[in-house]
Amino acid sequence: MERFFHAPGRGAYFEGWYFKLQTRGGETLALIPALHQDAAARRSASLQVITREGSWWLEYPEAEFGASAERLRIRAGANIFTEKGLRVSADAPGLRLRGAVGFGAFTRLVSDIMGPFRFLPGMECSHGVISMTHALEGALSINGRTLDFTGGTGYIETDRGRSFPRAYLWAQCAWGGHSGFMLSAATIPLPLGGFTGCICALVHGGHEYRLATYRGARVEHWSGGGAVVSQGRWLLTAQLLGSGARTLRAPVRGSMGRTVHESVGTQLRLRLMRGGETVVEHTDECAGFEYSGGD
């Protein structure tokens, strides 16, 4: 059974959920509620807000956080996130955010994106995709400006563990109402060494294409400009064409003490080929992209 919240034990731990919203006109906004516990078992919660124009951090005591394991339901302060939609009321220096957005039916992957990796002991971070794409209805007001998300597109994923990987790349986009893409590559430390692993899903034309280390995929190249992944006769290229990254906080041993940079609405070109023939090709203007370390 799918679990939406795993709850921390005694050691360092974090768990966060990434809700991305984009309007029909190409405006984008992401909301990241999270629970974190440091090595001394001190717990707190947070909400991060990111747009093309800026990013904001809001912190809440543990008592103002709640989550359900059986269904998607998260509360951080006065902000509520469920499978039906979200309702936000958030204030921070330079930020006033209000409104509600409803979600349509989720586009789910055929199986867990982590595959057998989810059983590996000692994993720093585990990733989950809740919805590759879904319809939106509603609006948010941010600093007096209204973003109408009706007819737009949403995406939801989750991460949990102790720390983000030392080096990683993440890219995501959704388009056309039924197509979605996500790619993550990272250094994976293990007790007896480590490796560079990747997970990737592309939903398009009623098909799900998956490239992953557990299916024999190799990361041929990755950098701040994108990635190239091969798997048998398949070749995926994701090329960053835009910029505009904003700062976010990321977990290190449960504490949100690391600064990373994410573009929430940038230009990304992706191409999936099989045996030299193009299967899917798309350039997106509202892609998410994040990179730290690598070669």
* pLDDT of amino acid 179: 98
Can you give the pLDDT at residue 90? 98
Per-residue pLDDT at 294: 44
In Å, what is the CA distance from 145 to each residue of 5, 23, 148, 149, 281? 33, 13, 10, 13, 34
Q: What is the pLDDT of residues 172-216, one digit of tens each?
A: 999 999 999 999 999 988 777 788 999 999 999 999 999 999 999
**pLDDT given for residue 187 in this prediction:** 92
Over residues 223-265, the pLDDT tens digits come to: 999 999 999 999 999 999 998 899 999 999 999 999 999 999 9
pLDDT at residue 284 in the model:
98
**CA nearest neighbour of 205 among 235, 223, 178:** 178
Which pLDDT does position 279 carry in this prediction? 98
Give the max Cα distance, the chain.
Answer: 55
Q: Which residues of the chain have pLDDT under 70?
A: 1-2, 7, 294-295
Classify residue 275 by its DSSP letter: T
67: how many CB neighbours lie within 10 A of its CB? 20
CA-angle at 67, arms to 65 and 72, nearest 5° = 135
- Each domain of the chain, given as residue ranges in start order, spans 13-292
Do the beta carbons of residue 169 and residue 294 sit within 8 Å?
Answer: yes
CB 100 within 8 A of CB 80: no
Beta bridge partners of 286: none
